[in-house]
Structure 1
């Protein structure tokens, strides 16, 4: 079975101490749960097994042409100047071990599959198993796992490499995700 590791939305606007959300409850959860450190553990395991590492970020053009004005989640981004491609906010957190050979997917919605080349890349690499983690658990992690499940990938969520603005949100999301995926930890997950 060929696996890939999807690192979801660990970009500066969301998780960096100086990012817009990094200064709030989500950033605090990322720090207290050691999300960056745990993600790096999983990246190292994926690399050791020869599994591709795929970074996913959300970002919009300078004029926000891809940004939905009807989305409660995205409609305020233009006004706030957040998630603009080419800015600090859409860069992957600098403490993550990203390499030139890693794939970078830019998405304009919650799901990393919607309107992106993600599935084309997974199919080209003959991936049948998706290991995923990131922020936030009730948004991109759930969207990713549900879509991967429905596209017939075997799915694994690395629980201690995921976070949400609140512990209850995170725990409830993990409980739901157990219907679609195996749940593991950074220490236990395997790419063999």
Structure 2
């Protein structure tokens, strides 16, 4: 399988300190993320980091938003908060963009679509935490925007292993090619 490298981008989504910390005792789970990033860099495939963060005061969080409204009450996850910074294990290089989103999908409230279109990207390789959150939401929106989508199943994590399995084995294949990071790297040649 040949991949169109010049029009492909690797998205590393929500690998930020406050989310990666949920898996702090299992650092080996982060190795497929790093392998994918290193392979993309070696093949000059753009690596784009995506994080979720909010302005001070949480102006963009509606009290009707069940997922995010609690943040406004207890704080954290602001743009400058340590929890929203990309984890050191997959630290971006100076030229690699970090996109800030305001909701679950990488496209929601961010300039990701503009960045991808400006670079002529038509194929997205998705990695992220969590499988049932940012990966699912971004995959659905990317497919609706007519991007070709690949998901690196072992470079996606979810707190619920069964949910991860159902997503990667039953849900995602309807709109994406699902493979391991190793299979993707092998396909790069």
TM over 0.5: yes
1:166-177 aligned at under 5 Å gives the runs 166-174=160-168, 175-177=170-172
Corresponding residue for residue 114 of structure 2: 120
Q: Is structure 2 residue 99 aligned with structure 1 residue 105?
A: yes
- In 1, Cα distance between the equivalents of 2:144 and 2:166? 21
Residue deviations 1:121-151, cap 9 Å, x none? 1111111110011111011101111111111
Equivalent position SS for 1:79? helix
Q: Following superposition, which runs of at least 4 residues in structure 1 exceed 3 angstroms of deviation?
A: none
Structure 1 runs not aligned, ≥5 long: 17-21
- In 2, Cα distance between the equivalents of 1:52 and 1:112? 16
- In 2, Cα distance between the equivalents of 1:152 and 1:120? 14
Which one of the candidate residues 39, 48, 55 is aligned to 2:49?
55
The answer on whether the counterparts of 1:3 and 1:191 sit within 8 Å (CA) in structure 2 is no
Backbone CA RMSD of aligned residues: 1.5
Q: How many residues are treated as equivalent by the alignment?
A: 181
Classify 1:35/1:68 alpha carbon distance in 2 versus 1 (closer, same or farther; 3 Å).
farther
- In 2, Cα distance between the equivalents of 1:101 and 1:114? 23
State the shift of 1:191 in Å: 4.5
Corresponding residue for residue 18 of structure 2: 13
Structure 2 runs not aligned, ≥5 long: none
Q: Given the two structures, how large is their TM-score scaled by the length of structure 2?
A: 0.90
Residue deviations 1:21-49, cap 9 Å, x none? x2xxxx26x827x3321101000111111
Structure number with higher helix proportion = 2
